[in-house]
Amino acid sequence: MSAEAGVVPGWLQPLATAIRDVSARDLTSFVPPAGTEVRKASVLMLFGGDDSHQDSRHVLLLERAHDMRSHAGQIAFPGGAQDVGDADEVATALREAQEETGLDPAGVEVVATLPSLWLPPSNFEVTPVVAWWRTPSPVSAADPAETASVHTVALSALLDPANRVTMRHPSGYRGPAFLVGDLVVWGFTAGLLSRLFTIVGWEQPWDASRVRDLPPELLPRSADPQQENVGP
């Protein structure tokens, strides 16, 4: 169910306002091609926290299981491919989040669905669902076959310029990344967060010339950087 105006906390209102008119081109250079059959997927961009405690504000991310056939070990939003029984993109995002993290969807207020984004190599049309965690519920790696760990990552850590770098893949691809503790957030997830932070006006100036190579342990699972962090 979508959150009505004023329902989300004040700190989240700028995001709710900024994404009303956002286009796919504002988020990526890849948009679903007209007339092409694509595979549909959704991810849940779930923000938690309140107005009274700035350090309570966070986003839900997970580490995908390390033995999965694709995107193994990657830090990602909860999400995955649309099932036949899913009513819409929101239903897909909430179902996948529940299956992967044990999240109770009843405590989630959907703010908006962003325009669908296209991942050319995997031919997935991915719809990001932005939501507020109105009533937090316990989360953990609900299915070890899919999820290695679950994290509520502080927004202050993601926005801290000291934790931002440009990640370099051996293929030559470069993109924004976040290094928070032991977490390496890059690829699709980092790109979407980075663009959203810029659009909302939360981004703090950071040094994009700080380049880091993708850690060796992630290389075997990262054959194509454009496929990172979306798990069907």
Q: What is the pLDDT of residue 67?
A: 60
Q: Give the model's confidence band at 151: pLDDT under 50 very low, under 70 low, under 90 confident, else very high.
A: very high
Report whether 230 contacts 119 (CB < 8 A): yes
CATH superfamily of 10-155: Nucleoside Triphosphate Pyrophosphohydrolase (3.90.79.10)
pLDDT tens per residue across span 109-135: 999 999 999 877 678 889 999 999 999
Q: Is the dihedral of CA 133, 196, 202, 205 positive or negative?
A: positive
Q: What is the pTM assigned to this prediction?
A: 0.90
| pLDDT recorded at residue 5 | 47
More confident call, 2 vs 185: 185
Question: What does 19-31 look like in DSSP terms, one character per residue?
Answer: TTT--HHHH-S--
Look at residue 225 in the predicted model and tell me its pLDDT: 46
Domain ranges of the chain: 10-155
Region 151-176: mean pLDDT is: 95
- Average model confidence (pLDDT) across the chain: 88
8 A C-beta contact, residue 29 and residue 61: no
What share of the chain has pLDDT > 90, as a percent? 68
More confident residue, 226 or 47: 47
CB 167 within 8 A of CB 175: yes
Confidence of residue 34 (pLDDT cuts 50, 70, 90): confident
Answer with the residue of higher pLDDT: 125 or 176.
176
Q: Which residues pair with 66 in a beta bridge?
A: none
> Is pLDDT above 80 for 31?
no
User: What does the alpha-carbon distance between residue 99 and residue 97 come to, in Å, rounded to a whole number?
Assistant: 5
- Residue 73's CB is within 10 A of a number of other CB atoms, namely 18
DSSP class of residue 163?
G
pLDDT of residue 66: 62
State the pLDDT confidence band at 70, using cuts at 50, 70 and 90. low
What pLDDT, on a 0 to 100 scale, did the predictor assign at position 226?
44
* pLDDT score, position 177: 97
Alpha carbons 157 and 16: distance in angstroms, whole number = 21
On the 0-12 / 13-18 / 19+ scale of CB atoms within 10 A, 38 is: middle
Angle at 215 between CA 175 and CA 181, to 5 degrees: 85
pLDDT value of position 74: 85
By mean pLDDT, which of 28-32, 62-66, 93-97, 202-206 is the weakest? 28-32
109 exposure class (CB count in 10 Å sphere: 0-12, 13-18, 19+): middle
Contacts with 16 (C-beta within 8 Å, 6 or more apart), sequence order: 3, 5, 8, 111, 112
